[in-house]
Chains A and B, each alone.
Chain A
Amino acid sequence: MATEEEIAVKEPLDLIRLSLDERIYVKLRSDRELRGKLHAYDQHLNMILGDMEEVVTSVEIDDETYEEIVRTTRRTIPYLFVRGDGVILVSPPLRTV
């Protein structure tokens, strides 16, 4: 058996490190999305984001017409600590909308 040097050639966290000081898109639980500049992160995906915008999406269903009303609430926060257990996905922001 070869030595266990090849276990983690690249970890996903190493690739997140490439996004440090770049703007990123973060998907959180509870239908929340963040876009901001990644200042720091750790193995739990706790993150420090700067110049950040949060978008909260809620869908309401009208009782009578059964229409889906999609509402988004936005707020901007200059500096924020995000707890990692709420993070679902991290990605560079979508360039082409």
Chain B
Amino acid sequence: MSTGGEKGSTGGGGEKGSGGGSSVKTPADFLKSIRGCPVVVKLNSGVDYRGILACLDGYMNIAMEQTEEYVNGQLKNKYGDAFIRGNNVLYISTSKRTLAEGA
């Protein structure tokens, strides 16, 4: 059993060996835990959106701040706030994007 994490988690019945800091049990728990984190949202169309996750719901509708739109890897647009309809979302991933702004 390779946990591969920084913390030596003893496991105790963890079905997923995810490398997250907190123990995540279900996708719903994951969704609750990532609010406020910088995320990457990929749509079915292949377009990428990177920003800070403000909130989301069970349909995977997403509200993000400081959103940047990447098409084919190129930055195309920036949005102060963005709401994305959940049916377009392919995945939501956390990223270790360093926030350039902020005091």
What is A's interface to B at a CB cutoff of 8 Å?
8-13, 15-16, 25, 29, 45, 84-85, 87-92, 94-95
B84 part of interface (Cβ distance < 8 Å): yes
Main secondary structure of the interface of B (DSSP, over half): strand
Residues of B within 8 A of A45 (CB): 85
Main secondary structure of the interface of A (DSSP, over half): mixed
What is B's interface to A at a CB cutoff of 8 Å?
43, 45, 49, 54-57, 61-63, 67, 77-85, 87-88
CA distance A53 to B29 in the complex (A): 40
Residues of A within 8 A of B82 (CB): 89-91
Kindly identify which residue among A9, A11, A88 contacts B84, using a CB–CB cutoff of 8 Å.
A88
